Amino acid sequence: MRTRIKEFRARYDMTQADLALKVGVRRETVVFLEKGKYNPSLKLAHDVAFALRSTIEELFLWDDDESKDVREG
């Protein structure tokens, strides 16, 4: 999964620490989310999207292979 979190943070001049504070997680969690190394819960994805004035679909991008596996599964 890829994310656009870093891009959206930049739009609002928000640091990783700022976002972490807004959504109630550690800064390291934001780092992992941005690098695509952590798949968030639906609640966390919603909270991040809300904090960045965005939608889950705009922030979290699934690779075609991952989407195909889910559809076929």
pLDDT tens digit sequence for 10-68: 999 999 999 999 999 999 999 999 998 999 999 999 999 999 999 999 999 987 654 45
Q: Give CA separation, 39 vs 9, 27, 35, 51, 67, in Å.
A: 18, 15, 10, 17, 14
- The count of structural domains within the chain is 1
Q: Which residue has the tokens 């599964």?
A: 73
Q: What confidence score (pLDDT) does residue 62 get?
A: 82
Q: Measure the CA–CA gap between 66 and 46, rounded to whole angstroms.
A: 20
Q: Measure the CA–CA gap between 65 and 34, rounded to whole angstroms.
A: 20
> Amino acid letter at 21?
L
Q: Give residue 54's domain range.
A: 2-72
CATH number at residue 33: 1.10.260.40
